Amino acid sequence: MSSRNTEERYNDILEQYCDKSFVYSVLCNKSSSFFNRWKYALQLPLIITSTVLTYINSNQDENMMDAMKVVNPVFNLFTAILLALNNMLKLESKANDFKNNGIKFQKLSHLIEQKQLEGDINNDFINSVITQYDNITENCYEVPRHICKTVHNLYATKKHLPVVCNGVQKIDTKILNAPNVLKKQSSPRVLNTKQFQPELQV
């Protein structure tokens, strides 16, 4: 294989992983925001109930003390349910992990762009990118389906998508913008990209 063909193949591979890393960072950021909203939605009632109970317990009125015999168990049960839900759903853990993984994907995307500009690309760097990408994805929680669908609709014609977004290749936007061609084609053509097989060095 000529050096020119090898360089083109490397650039094609890096373009795919740069796109996938960028899209995955968007998925992670949106997922982090989603789980943070739910975390705050469960924490707000806890703050309210704690405040109400503190006020009621500080009131020494006899009528209020009688009411507390009913109110206290109800509020305690409600608080226990919210805490159990928060622990079971792992909202804070998911929000933090998605945020950290989003940063890692952004760094990987920037590293690929930097290497493409420098032109210092070899087989070892390709293997390193693939390994880093796989390691990050393996430590990711499952992305909510509605977020995958939203990101898929945003970037299907602009970026190569990761497997979590159905893993489609970047659609040729020139085909989408050609009405005469669309009449002849039932579906848009995707860009032809080679599949990379890493050369394992012994």
Domain-located, residue 130? yes
Q: Is residue 96 part of a domain?
A: yes
Residue 194 belongs to a domain:
no
Distance CA 57, CA 69 (A): 11
Which residue, 22, 30, 12, is CA-closest to 161?
Answer: 22
pLDDT of residue 169: 56
Residue pair 126/10 in contact by the 8 Å Cβ criterion = yes
Which residue ranges in the chain fall short of pLDDT 70?
1-4, 59-64, 67, 167-202
What pLDDT shows up at residue 167? 59
Is residue 37 situated within a structural domain?
A: yes
Structural domain including 29 reads 3-142
* Assigned domain for 103 exists: yes
Which pLDDT score is estimated for 71? 76
pLDDT at 195: 42
Residue 179 lies in a domain: no
- Total domain count, the chain: 1
Domain presence at residue 197: no
